Amino acid sequence: MIAAAQAGRFDDLPLYDRAIETMPREELRALQLAKLKEQVAYTYQKVEHYRHLMDQMGVTPDDIRTLDDIRKLPFTDKSTLRDTYPYGLFAVDLDDIIELHASSGTTGTPIVVGYTRADMDVWSDCIARLVQMAGVVPGDIAQMAFGYGMFTGGFGLHYGLQKLGCAMIPAGSGNTERHIKMIEDYGTTVLIATPSYAMHICEVGEQMGYDWEASSLRVGLFGGEPCPPALKAELERRMHIVCTDNYGLTEVMGPGVSGECLAQRFQQHIAEDHFLAEVVDPVTGEPVAEDQVGELVLTPLDKQGIPVLRYRTHDLTRLTTEPCVCGRTHARMDKVRSRSDDMLIIRGTNVFPSQIEDVLAGIDEVTPHYHIIVETKDGMDALTVETELRPEKMSDSFEQMERMRRTIADKLKGTLLVGVNVRLVEPGGIQRTTGKAKHIDDLRQR
Ligand code: DLL
């Protein structure tokens, strides 16, 4: 089936919910509007926080007459969920909540979200849809390498894959050698992980002498963090799989918001019957034109447990509604590479980690593993990039290594327009992760 897609044939690929996924856009927008009206009325009625805000702004649910009227509604930020922790935004009695999850955020008060049975059904439908879009079929054997804790990744993907009819192997994250053995012994066909953990699994497999080309593994369902094009290409080349990317966030559901189809390899279809997506200027909050990059704002259209309105994701992307060759009509978002809040300001210059990633990706001598350190030295910002050498590129010659280091520093400076201290690290020297990679240490005193 994937072979058909690779050959550019999409007509006979199965869709999880053909009527919804290929719905004409006019109808889709009408469906969104009907749901939005209901959702705003529900939220106003059930959640004191929103009722209070909307009263203050002089907006009532009856003011929502078109999809553009969503702009009359207040934004929601992570801080809203923190300030109302734990249950302040819940719209139902705890008796009606059947599962709780929490954000993976490491700083500040956590945020917690609750799902009703209906929310869980929508969630697993969204996942079943996106995994099928990625080439997974009923009968696939799917091995979970996300953790099964409060993180939405593990259980979210698990339920959806089961709903599609896959056999789940709930291995969880970590114990990488065991993952390889399970793939081999159980004939795993689908691997679920963050792209950085997938890279680690790939490397450990190679070190163990595992033959990825002969492996049963066919599809990588990766997500939870950016998967830059170079990393995707490397995973596909070394693991001999089709590597797909899916996106989501705890505050609006977890994974399941959008996923990559087999035709559009750098964009993801949004489940628009369940989410209304806007893209706004991250500073002014005003909408940007279709095709312009801005911050993604999401409103879940049928969430009962926590019905958030206009959630500011901080993720930077752009939307297109151009028809897709896969036949799906739902808008596509560019793969998220950066967040509005991960921009570093180095001596007055804006630097996105994704720019560093892209420069390193163009250098043959280094692996996709990198680490950025920002410090204050002599009262000034100092940027250090640690990059890991490929084993075959190591040299005993100090001069050769120094030349390589300088070339990389010059390339980084040429793109970033700030001086960078480059540190070459031996193969395997950059810490591997079993979850989301932490690429940046900002140690500046503020
Ligand atoms: O990471 C949900 C998820 C789990 C999605 C597993 C896909 C697979 P949080 O822990 O709340 O939820 O983190 C959400 O992670 O705002 C993005 O910045 C980032 N993120 C998630 N998926 C992607 C992706 C889950 N495919 C935050 N590409 C989001 C880029 C992603 N960034």
Ligand 1: centre distance to CA 225 (Å): 5
Encoding tokens for residue 371?
């680490």
Please give the pLDDT value at position 8: 83
Q: Which residue has the higher pLDDT, 291 or 354?
A: 354
Chain segment 112-124, per-residue pLDDT in tens: 999 999 999 999 9
Q: Per-residue confidence at 194, pLDDT binned at 50, 70, 90?
A: very high
Residue nearest to atom 27 of ligand 1 (CA): 249
Of 76, 222, 260, 315, the residue with max ligand 1 atoms within 8 A of its CB, to mutate for a pocket test, comes to 315
Domains observed in the chain: 2-27+100-337 (3.40.50.12780), 343-442 (3.30.300.30)
Cβ-defined contacts of 342-348 (< 8 Å, 24+): 342/440, 344/372, 344/374, 344/383, 344/440, 344/442, 345/381, 346/374, 346/381, 346/383, 346/416, 346/418, 347/380, 347/381, 347/418
Q: In sequence order, which residues have a C-beta less than 8 Å from that of residue 140 and are 6 or more positions away?
A: 161, 166, 167, 189, 190, 218, 219
Is residue 12 predicted with pLDDT exceeding 90?
Answer: no
Atom of ligand 1 nearest to the CA of 268: 26
Please give the pLDDT value at position 5: 87
Helix (H, G, I), strand (E, B) or coil at 99: strand
Is residue 104 predicted with pLDDT exceeding 80?
Answer: no
**What's the CA gap between 272 and 193, in Å, rounded?**
24
Please give the pLDDT value at position 7: 83
Q: Which of 333, 184, 202 has its CA nearest to residue 271?
A: 333
Please give the pLDDT value at position 419: 96
Please give the pLDDT value at position 115: 98
Chain segment 66-84, per-residue pLDDT in tens: 999 999 999 999 999 999 9
Helix (H, G, I), strand (E, B) or coil at 12: coil
Of 247, 250, 257, 335, the residue with max ligand 1 atoms within 8 A of its CB, to mutate for a pocket test, comes to 247
Q: Which residue has the higher pLDDT, 446 or 238?
A: 238
**What's the CA gap between 368 and 13, in Å, rounded?**
33
For residues 134 and 109, the answer to whether their CB atoms sit within 8 Å is no
Is residue 109 predicted with pLDDT exceeding 90?
Answer: no
Q: Per-residue confidence at 105, pLDDT binned at 50, 70, 90?
A: low
Is residue 106 predicted with pLDDT exceeding 60?
Answer: no
Ligand 1: centre distance to CA 446 (Å): 28
**What's the CA gap between 146 and 126, in Å, rounded?**
18
Is residue 1 predicted with pLDDT exceeding 80?
Answer: no
Encoding tokens for residue 47?
């959640």
Is residue 56 predicted with pLDDT exceeding 90?
Answer: yes
Q: Per-residue confidence at 85, pLDDT binned at 50, 70, 90?
A: very high
Mean pLDDT of 256-274: 94
Ligand 1: centre distance to CA 254 (Å): 8
For residues 245 and 268, the answer to whether their CB atoms sit within 8 Å is yes
Is residue 445 predicted with pLDDT exceeding 80?
Answer: no
**What's the CA gap between 317 and 309, in Å, rounded?**
19
Q: In sequence order, which residues have a C-beta less than 8 Å from that of residue 361 and are 6 or more positions away?
A: 228, 229, 230, 231, 368
DSSP secondary-structure letter at 160? H
Please give the pLDDT value at position 72: 98
For residues 426 and 389, the answer to whether their CB atoms sit within 8 Å is yes
Q: Provide the 10 A C-beta neighbour count for residue 34.
A: 11
Q: Per-residue confidence at 132, pLDDT binned at 50, 70, 90?
A: very high
Atom of ligand 1 nearest to the CA of 336: 30
With a pLDDT cut of 70, the percent of the chain lying above it is 99
Largest CA distance in the chain: 73
pTM of the model: 0.97
Ligand 1: centre distance to CA 379 (Å): 35
Ligand 1: centre distance to CA 316 (Å): 12
Ligand 1: centre distance to CA 169 (Å): 22
**What's the CA gap between 366 and 427, in Å, rounded?**
9
Angle formed by the axes of helices 195-207 and 176-186, to 10°? 80
- Angle ∠(190,194,196) on CA atoms, nearest 5: 115
Please give the pLDDT value at position 3: 84
Chain segment 295-332, per-residue pLDDT in tens: 999 999 999 999 999 999 999 999 999 999 999 999 99
Ligand 1 proximal residues by C-beta, below 6 Å: 103-104, 152-153, 223-226, 245-250, 254-255, 313, 315, 335-336, 339
Distance of CA 374 to the CA centre of its chain: 25
Q: What is the mean pLDDT of the chain?
A: 95
Please give the pLDDT value at position 65: 98
Please give the pLDDT value at position 103: 86
In single-letter form, the type of residue at position 206 comes to E
Atom of ligand 1 nearest to the CA of 337: 30
Ligand 1: centre distance to CA 248 (Å): 5
For residues 323 and 298, the answer to whether their CB atoms sit within 8 Å is no
